[in-house]
Every structure is written in C-alpha cells, then in structure tokens.
A and B are shown apart, each in its own frame.
Chain A
Amino acid sequence: MDERALRNSGKWQIPVYSEQAAEGLFINLAQIVSAQSAAPAFLHAQINTFINDQHRSSALKVYMVQQGAEQWYQKAMVQLGKATTGNSNTRGSRSSSSSSASPYGKSLRNIYTALGIKSRRSSYASYDDNDEQEYNNNNNGNEQQQQQQPFAMLCMRTGDVDCGCLSISEQQMPATISQMLSGEQKPSVAAFLEQFQQQQQQAMKFRGALVTSIFEQEAKIPTSAGFPLRICNSVPVLAFADGQAKISMESARLESPLGVKAEVNAHMMASLGHIQKMVSARANDGTRK
C-alpha cells in the first residue's frame, strides 16, 4: 500500500526498550482525523511499560476527544472579524445567509429535508443556525441536538483508570466566553480580568479521593508437602478530602509580602486496613490471619 496516499489518521509507536534487559517502555501516539473538522476527532499519547516481566497498559495516557468543536472556532473567528473589521460577512457566509434568508432557499431546504437528501460531504451534515431548528423539528430534536452539540474532553489516565477529566461544553463554559462567542459581548481583556476577580472572591470547591495499597509484599515458601505456601501482606488505604479554598489578593496587606491570602477549609477522611493471607496451591480459600 502506498503510504503517501494515506490520510493523516494513524497510530505510531516509539519504543524505549532494551532487548538485553527485556525491560522498557513504549510510547504510543494515535490520532483519528475527521473529514468535518480541522482538529482531530481523537488524539492520544500513551505510555505502556514492560518491567519485571510484567506488561502494564496505559501506565500513563493523555487523550482528547471532541465533536463539533469547530463551531466554537468559527464563532470565535466571526466575532474576531467583527471586532477588527466591523464586517464579518465573507463570501461564503454571505451566500449561505442569502440563500437561507430568501423564500426560495427555504423552499429548497424543505424539499431536501422532505426527500431525506443529505450533503454528499458527510452523512452528518453541518447546518447553520437557521436550518438547525428546522432539522430538529423534522427529527427527534433532543437526539439530533446531542449529535450536533459541540463537546470536547481532555482526560488523563493512569494504570488504565481515568483519574481526571476536563470537559468543555456550552453548559460548562464560563459565561464571559459564551457571551463572546454568541456576540453578546465584545472580546476584551478587561472582561476576562473582571471575571477572574469575581471568581477570586468566590470560594473554589474541591473534592478528591485516593485509593492505594502500600507495603504490598508476597513471599513463596516451599513446604515439605511439595506445595508452595504463598504469604501476602498489604495495607490498603482510602483517603478522601472535601472542602473549599479561597484566595484573595490584597495589595495593602502588610502581613504578607506578596499580598496574597489563602483560606482553606477541608474535611478529610482516611481509613486503612491490614490484610495478611496465607494461600497454598491446594486450598484456594487459604488462611487469613
């Protein structure tokens, strides 16, 4: 297959592996590019390890997935164009706006919708704001809105368990940015600073949990019966923290040279146990002490 004819989607591996020691790690990079978006629909960087003859998949992984995020980019460019030139109508947007505003354009769109004709460009055609309402009325509104709703997510995974996700959607977007994208507010640094000051006056809530096992040890002892005796020892720990933090900046504050005051109210819980097991190959239940 001619690789020069392939598109940009793919998966690649960068090994950092020693054949002699039979240990190493493998860096996997992958992206899936969409025909409807300039940004990749899926992007990930992953580290797999092979240490002590044990393979660990997704020891560390950072990945991004998005759908319809180019809508935000288009809105941002339109608003930026309005802010700089005062006229956001490019040739493409003028033609689409004129066709959708005219009665003939609307009739044509209604015919397409009634016949189920979709754009050849993709089976998930993008519609401008005027047509999105008509398309949703003709179909199941909620399902179609979710399919076209822009959404992006950045996640971090350790040990094949997602430990942090940052999602971006129109519901969670800060009010300032949402207003700027919709044109209700002009983009300005002053607006961002004002929102930052408002957030600074509010307390930030945080909540975190940690589950881990420490002092894991295992020993195999040969016995005269011929079956090895396995002794396992571990201390599982569960910790949970819930609280809020408030950071305020006061330039006239004399106690702190930086002029920063932080208040943290936290409620923490922790519990741990001690598990010791003796297991033989014959008796699977083993003896717990």
Chain B
Amino acid sequence: MAFYGILRHLLISFFLFGIFLDSPAFLIIFPFATFQTIMELFNSADSIQDKVLALNALGNAGIDTCVGELEQIIKDRSEARVVRYKAIDALRRLRTQMPAKIQQILLPIYQNTREHPEIRAYAFARILSTLPAQQVIDQLAYTIRQEKNRQVQAFAYRAMKTLANSRNPVEQQM
C-alpha cells in the first residue's frame, strides 16, 4: 500500500508544481526527480501489477527524459507482455513532442518478425498515432505486404485503411 501511496503522491505533486510554478528550472528538475523515483519503484517491483502501475504513472506524466528507459523495457523480451505493452503505451503523450524518436524505437519492433505478434501490432498502432511521414508509411506498407503473421497483417491493414478513410481533419493531413 505504501507503494501506491508514493506513486499517487508523486503524480499529484507533479501536476501541482506544473501548475503553480512555471519556472523552467522547476519544470526540468522536478519531473526528472519524479521520473527517477518512479523508475526505482519499477525496478524494485516484484509483480506485474506494480510494474504496470509505475508505467501508468510514467505514461500520465509524459516526461521526455524517460524515453531511454522505456525503450529498454520495450526491447526487453524477458519482461511480461503486458509490461512491454504498457511501456509502449507510456509513449503516447510524447507523440507530438518527439514523433521521430518514437518511430525510431517502435519501427524495428514492428518489423521484427520474431517479436511477439501482439507487441508488434501495438507498436504499429503507436507509430500511426505519431502521424508519420511518407517514407515511414512506405516502410509500413511494404512490411504489411510481406507479413507472414495473419493477425498482425489484419490489424495493420485495417488500421491503415481506417486512417486512409478517416474524416478526421488531423488524420487527413497525413
């Protein structure tokens, strides 16, 4: 219970300082301290639930300094599938700040046919959410054509088709 108390306190504190103190120093130092604490909690967690909760907190915070650590978790095949999925999901709030970095991390995951199919499919969805450039879309389309796994192929094809037919003005810009 102390674990959850600390995480909730960190989340509240992060938002509190972000609102009341928009000095650049606080916005840089305090989130970094918060990220280090959350990563310590993640590394010391011994159950999937604790790890997922820590990654939830990281995802909500959207701190750009945590991208390196999240990349290690995503590429660590010894981690549980749900933990790796939550690590990919934790990049969601950075999709507008560093789309190229997210594509750089997730594109090899998606194109690796030896990777778990569900992880690959979700990496594909996260890449699409960054509104990638034409070159990245061409790589994705080429991989769909060569795809051997039917589930990944189905998800990727339908996601691309939905995006192509979308009436959302933001998605139509792609």
The answer on A and B forming one complex is: yes
- Selected from A32, A57, A142, A165, the residue in CB contact (under 8 A) with B53 is A165
A13-B162, A171-B47, A236-B19 given as contacts; is B154 within 8 A of A7 (CB)? yes
Q: How far is the CB of B112 from chain A (nearest CB, A)?
A: 12
Interface status of A215 (Cβ within 8 A of chain B):
no
Interface status of A249 (Cβ within 8 A of chain B):
no
Contact residues of B between 1 and 48, Cβ < 8 Å to A: 5, 8, 11-12, 15-16, 19-20, 46-48
Please give, as numbers and ranges, the residues of chain B lying within 8 Å of A22 by CB-CB distance. 169
Interface status of A65 (Cβ within 8 A of chain B):
yes
What mask results when residues 88 to 131 of chain A are scored 1 for a CB within 8 Å of chain B, else 0?
00000000000000000000000000000000000110000000
Q: How large is the interface on B (under 10, 10 to 19, 20 to 34, 35 or more residues)?
A: 35 or more
Complex formed: what's the CA distance from A10 to B157 in Å? 8
Instruction: Judge whether A30 and B154 touch: CB under 8 Å.
Output: no
Complex formed: what's the CA distance from A10 to B163 in Å? 12
A67-B81, A147-B81, A160-B92 given as contacts; is B168 within 8 A of A50 (CB)? yes
Please give, as numbers and ranges, the residues of chain A lying within 8 Å of B168 by CB-CB distance. 13, 15, 17, 26, 48, 50, 55
Considering the complex, give the chain B residue whose CB is closest to the CB of A273: B20
Please give, as numbers and ranges, the residues of chain A lying within 8 Å of B56 by CB-CB distance. 155, 162, 165
Interface status of A74 (Cβ within 8 A of chain B):
no
Complex formed: what's the CA distance from A28 to B159 in Å? 10
Complex formed: what's the CA distance from A240 to B5 in Å? 12
Q: How far is the CB of A241 from chain B (nearest CB, A)?
A: 12
What mask results when residues 10 to 51 of chain A are scored 1 for a CB within 8 Å of chain B, else 0?
111101010100101010101011110000011000001010
Contact residues of B between 111 and 136, Cβ < 8 Å to A: 114, 116-118, 121-122, 125, 129
Interface status of A190 (Cβ within 8 A of chain B):
no
Interface status of A52 (Cβ within 8 A of chain B):
no
Interface-located stretch among B65-73, B97-105, B145-153: B145-153
Instruction: Judge whether B158 and A6 touch: CB under 8 Å.
Output: yes
A67-B81, A151-B80, A160-B93 given as contacts; is B150 within 8 A of A6 (CB)? yes
